[in-house]
Amino acid sequence: MKHKGVIWKDRKRNFLGLPWTFTVYTMAEDRLFVDTGLLTSREDEVRLYRITDLSLTRSLWQRIIGTGTIHCTSADPTLGNFDLTNIKKPHETKEKISRLVEKARAKAKVYMREDMHSGHHFDDDHCLDESEGHGGWDHDDDLEDFEETVR
């Protein structure tokens, strides 16, 4: 599938580091596409602002052949959490995705809040407050809860 405004593109690589698979990863300014399959193909997409966390793992063999796997934690209801498996230049790619995620969040005015006690992430779409009728966060209560926990 041809996507507009492609910033990065790579294939999932096999155990030898060769791009002989039928999974293609493509990133545009605001979306990441995962195309899979040969006979039956499937295209998934996630809006970058829905990615909440990135991590990189590299086995000894991946380090030898110059690949890595980026695990993406996502709030996307269809794709959920997913991996970009055996890609070249994994550190550089992870940093590029991270920068574009932050840029997409700022553009969409979506901010993530984190519950420091449990490690859970909460998306606060557009950071709207209750006066706008969207059930925003009560920042004073959050601060009081934090102060009670610290005591």
Q: Read off the pTM.
A: 0.72
Among 45, 110, 106, 56, CA closest to 78: 45
Residues of the chain within CATH 2.30.29.30 domain(s) are 1-108
Q: Which CATH architecture has domain 1-108?
A: Roll (2.30)
Q: With beta carbons less than 8 A apart as the criterion, state whether 111 and 128 touch.
A: no
Per-10-residue mean pLDDT of the chain, 151 residues long, equals: 84 89 94 94 94 97 96 93 96 96 90 59 44 40 48 46
- Cα 81 to its chain centre, rounded Å, is 8
For the chain, the first-to-last Cα distance in angstroms comes to: 56
Q: How many CB atoms lie within 10 A of CB 49?
A: 24
